[in-house]
Amino acid sequence: MDSDDKDKFEPAKQNEDPMNFNSASISSEWQFCSANLSSAPMNLVRPRNSMAVCREDLIGSSSCSSAPMADSFGPALWDHPPTMENLGFVNISAQNNLSTSHLLGIRKVGPESVRGDIGWNPPSSMLKGGLFVPSALGTLPIAEGLPHFPTDSGFIERAARFSCFGGGNFSNMVNPFGIPDNAGLYPIAGGLVPGPQDIFPASCPKPVPGAQSEKNEMNIEACRDVHLAATQGTPQGSPLKNEGESESFARSRGEAKQGTTAGSSNESDEAEFSGGGGGGQDNLSMLEGTGGDGSTKGFDSKKRKRSGEDAELDKAKGAPQLAEIPKDDSRTQQELENNPSSNTSKATAKNNKPGTQGSDPQKEEYIHVRARRGQATNSHSLAERVRREKISERMKFLQDLVPGCSKVTGKAVMLDEIINYVQSLQRQVEFLSMKLATVNPRVDFNIEGLLAKDLLHSRAGPSSTLGLSHDMPMPFPAMHLPPPGLMQGGPSGIGRPADPLRRALQNQMTQLAGGFKEPSQLPHPWEDELNNVVQMGFVGGGGGGGSGAAPSGQDAEGPLPPPGHTKVEL
Amino acid sequence: MKNPQRSPTNPGSLRSRFTHVFLQSLLRIRKHNPTSSSSSPHREFLKRCSQVKVAAYVSMARAVGTRRAWSRATIWRARNGERRRNLLCRRCSKSNSRERSLGKKKKKKKKKKKRDNEEHGFAHEKKLQKLVPGGEAMDFCCLLDETAHYIKCLITQVKVMRSIADFYSL
């Protein structure tokens, strides 16, 4: 039964918590929360005040779905747990802002803000019991009233997942805990951790290193342990997520209880994990690079989440990740959106959390919460972020390359321009090949090849192309005009191809018309043209020659040395 | 971002390399194809056009080398194009199953990618993949990279071809 599972999970989580949540009741509540969370839609994580959402929804929506919970909880751990964590985190953060005595106030605050999320409803409904587990963190007294839930491996798994999420923000978590003497709150780290745990992955890289507080360490360790175990299991096989998680959970249980010792073991586990990080290693490296986190723990937690959640995605990293990652597409996207903010605030997240003041910290916390939610794919989100940055960097480069795209903003329009440009270039190649096909039989390439090579190398035929360049760059459809002419005159071909040249030359520089000669006299016209050009100093006008690739052909002529320069060379 | 190797004066530049290879291929085409053919000159002309076009792309790909995916794909296509066409023709006549399976595999892959892409709204990506040789097997990030290099090479190619055409048509 789902409800049973839920119960099992929660107690299990509680047991794992080294912090020993104050009472099983809390854990039970948490279980409810987790259950609700699992069943809660992805929307749970919203960039709104998670606190408000959690509170109200948890209380308001009573049974989101006991049935799916158990089932969804497993796979949805990544998704849903964050909500729980968010809830917890929110509470924690709320506590940061408010005194523990304000537990009730926190709850009340909840309704005001996040309300918007429907997803929270289920959890809130579940928590009708009145004790929002996360809130329980802040309000130990409430926790006491929580029913006890039997520990369950599944619960442990969930807890582990949660811990993975909240790896980074333990410090924040701890702070609120510190305020109240609710030792029971610590279990939150293990059980309620969902909130802070979510944050952890986001802030793990940073907060972890910064989380110097013992509490944080403990929490982190607990989370990490869970994560490590989970991740270690997961990397081995995405389908084995749950299995791995269970294993890890078992391990984490022991580890979590060990506290600091567990942390060290976690580290070792982490090391192992990183070693065995299979497909996720790429992401790992990426994450490491991007996260720049010295804290392997945070990284591992992130990784674990990723591996646990999207081990497949990790493997598919090279491939269109979008296809895979979007399993939680909506969520990840949302999370990703929040991730930048959350990630950026990671470093400051921990700092922010302790110093939560007013709406900003709450927002940040909320973002963290969201990040946690998306932290399920934290590594993915980081990977996505890196990928997006890469893409934007390349788009910028392409913008410079494609003429007339400097003013274009937006990926879609830019891509359209790029596609058009490539198509126009290909059409030009086709047209020129037609031209060459007509010219080919009549030209002795051996000699002229060498000549052309030198000329081309040195000048890229600016003079000859000057007129054409002005002509050619004209709307590409114009290119189609000469080809018919060329085709008709194919075999006889000289005259026709010469027409556009002649026209262009005449249009551009009447003086050069004299230099226009039959192909048989190519070397001479070339020299004559050169002389003419030199004499007339037309080079300046022909600067854009040769580019022709785009309407603003001159832009493409960048690499070409100014005609004047080439003249000098010749 | 200008690569010094792109300067025309640099003998090892892409432009010089391409020019060299392209002129060689043009000569080869000229040699292989009689200038005057009794049969429809139009067809001959078209055939020569396509030959020159292919030669241009292959020359550029050769000049670039195998560093780039698109150049590799171009060279591979040119090498195996005829073979594939022959295979297809034969298979078509004999048994369509093999060819279809091969085509289906490719199509399935492409379709899957397309579906995935479509799901995510990457219509542009698909289009770009079609334009850039070898683009189907790349993720978006690499595709943009290849596109940038491909555009650079296309610009050089167009310039050289135009100068050659101008040179010879004048």
Within the 2-21 window of chain B, which residues sit less than 8 Å (CB to CB) from chain A?
A: 2, 6-9, 11, 13, 15-16, 19-20
A33 vs B137, which has greater pLDDT? B137
Tokens of A452: 């052309």
CB burial readout A54-84, b (16+ within 10 A) else e? bbbbbbbbbbbbbebbbebbbbbbbbbbbbb
Percent of chain B whose predicted confidence (pLDDT) is above 90: 0
Q: Average pLDDT in the B31-51 region?
A: 74
Put simply, the answer to whether B147 touches A422 (Cβ < 8 Å) is: yes
The distance of Cα A280 from the centroid of its chain, to the nearest Å, equals 15
Ramachandran angles phi, psi of A358, nearest 5°: 70, -155
Q: Which two tokens stand for residue B8?
A: 């025309």
Say if residues A472 and A542 touch (Cβ distance below 8 Å).
no
Cβ neighbours for A161, distance < 8 A, ≥ 6 positions apart: A77, A78, A81, A194, A197, A226, A227, A230, A245, A305, A308, A376
Which residue among A318, A425, A455 sits closest to B139, beta carbon to beta carbon? Answer: A318
Written as six digits, the tokens of A531 are 């002389």
Give chain B's length. 170
Place B102 in a pLDDT band, splitting at 50, 70 and 90: low
Tally Cβ neighbours within 10 Å of residue A420: 16
User: What ipTM describes this predicted complex?
Assistant: 0.79
B142 shares contact with chain A (CB less than 8 Å): no
A430 within 8 A of B46, measured Cβ to Cβ: no
DSSP B120: T
Helices (H), B65-139: 69-93, 96-119, 123-131
- A386, A395, A440, best to mutate vs chain B, most B CBs in 10 Å: A440
Instruction: Report the distance separating Cα A211 and Cα A443, nearest Å.
Output: 77
Minimum-distance CB partner of A453 among B23, B116, B156: B23
pLDDT of res. B121: 59
H-assigned helices in A204-240? 207-210, 214-236
> What does the DSSP 8-state code read for residue A66?
H
Confidence of residue B90 (pLDDT cuts 50, 70, 90): confident
Question: Residues of A with CB below 8 A from B125's CB?
Answer: 415
Residue B51 binned pLDDT confidence (cut-offs 50, 70, 90): confident
The more confidently predicted of residues A277 and B76 is B76
Please name the helix (run of DSSP H) or strand (run of DSSP E) that holds residue A37, with its range, or none. Answer: helix A24-39
pLDDT at res. A373: 55
Which comes out higher in pLDDT, residue B122 or A329? B122
Assigned token pair, A88: 């917890």
**% of chain B surpassing 70 pLDDT:** 71
- Asked if A85 and A371 count as a contact pair (C-beta separation under 8 A), the reply is no
Across the interface, do A422 and B131 touch by the CB < 8 Å criterion? yes
- Does residue B167 contact residue B159 with C-beta atoms inside 8 Å? no
Q: Tens digit of pLDDT for each residue in A104-130?
A: 444 444 444 444 444 444 444 444 444
How much is the pLDDT for B20?
A: 83
In this predicted structure, what is the pLDDT of residue B45?
Answer: 80
Position B146 scores a pLDDT of 87
Q: Which of A419, A446, A458 sits opposite B128 (nearest CB)?
A: A419
CA B111 centroid distance within chain = 22
Integer Cα distance of A301 and A299 in angstroms? 5
State the pLDDT confidence band at B170, using cuts at 50, 70 and 90: low
Give the chain A residue nearest B53 (alpha carbons).
A433
Per-residue pLDDT at A278? 40
Torsion over CA of A514, A518, A524 and A527, rounded to 10 degrees?
Answer: 50
Residue A429 to residue B165, Cβ atoms within 8 A: no
A338 Cβ contact partners less than 8 Å away, ≥ 6 residues apart: A45, A47, A367, A370, A371, A374
State whether A442 and B168 contact (CB < 8 Å): yes
A567 close to A539: Cβ distance less than 8 angstroms: yes
Q: Given an 8 Å threshold on Cβ–Cβ distance, is B15 in contact with A457? A: yes
User: Nearest residue on chain B to A445, judged by CA atoms?
Assistant: B27
State the smallest CA–CA distance between residue A94 and chain B in angstroms. Answer: 37
| Beta-carbon count within 10 A of A269 CB | 25
Give B 149-168 residues with CB within 8 A of chain A.
Answer: 150-152, 154-168
From B82's Cα to the closest Cα of chain A, the distance in A is 20
Between B113 and A178, residue with greater pLDDT? B113
Q: What is the 3-state secondary structure (H, E, C) of A116-154?
A: HCCCCHHHHHHHHHCCCHHHHHHCHHHHHCCCCCCCCHH
CB contact under 8 A, B52 and A436: yes
Interface of B with A in 48-107 (CB under 8 A): 48-53, 55-57
What's A440's DSSP letter? G
pLDDT of residue B25 exceeding 60: yes
Task: Tell me how far apart the alpha carbons of residues B114 and B123 are, in angstroms, rounded to a whole number.
Answer: 8
Q: How far is B101 from chain A (nearest CA, A)?
A: 23
Residue whose structure tokens are 């530049």: B13
The verdict on a CB contact (< 8 Å) between A439 and B19 is: no
CB contact under 8 A, B141 and A434: no
Q: In 3-state terms, what secondary structure has residue B124?
A: helix
Contact predicate A167/A121, CB 8 Å: no
- Cβ atoms within 10 Å of A105's Cβ, excluding its own: 16
Would you write out chain A's pLDDT as a tens digit for each of its 570 residues? Answer: 444 444 444 444 444 444 444 444 444 444 444 444 444 444 444 444 444 444 444 444 444 444 444 444 444 444 444 444 444 444 444 444 444 444 444 444 444 444 444 444 444 444 444 444 444 444 444 444 445 555 555 656 665 565 555 444 444 444 444 444 444 444 444 444 444 444 444 444 444 444 444 444 444 444 444 444 444 444 444 444 444 444 444 444 444 444 444 444 444 444 444 444 444 444 444 434 444 444 444 444 444 444 444 444 444 444 444 444 444 444 444 444 444 444 444 434 444 444 444 444 444 443 343 444 554 567 778 888 888 888 888 888 888 888 887 777 778 888 888 888 889 988 988 888 888 887 766 656 555 555 555 555 544 444 444 444 444 444 444 444 444 444 444 444 444 444 544 454 444 444 444 444 444 444 444 455 445 544 554 444 443 333 434 444 344 444 444 444 444 444
Does the structure show a pLDDT above 70 at B136?
yes
Of A387, A391, A456, the CB nearest to B160: A456
Q: CA A530, CA A570: separation in Å to the nearest integer?
A: 9
| Number of neighbouring beta carbons within 10 Å of residue B32 | 9
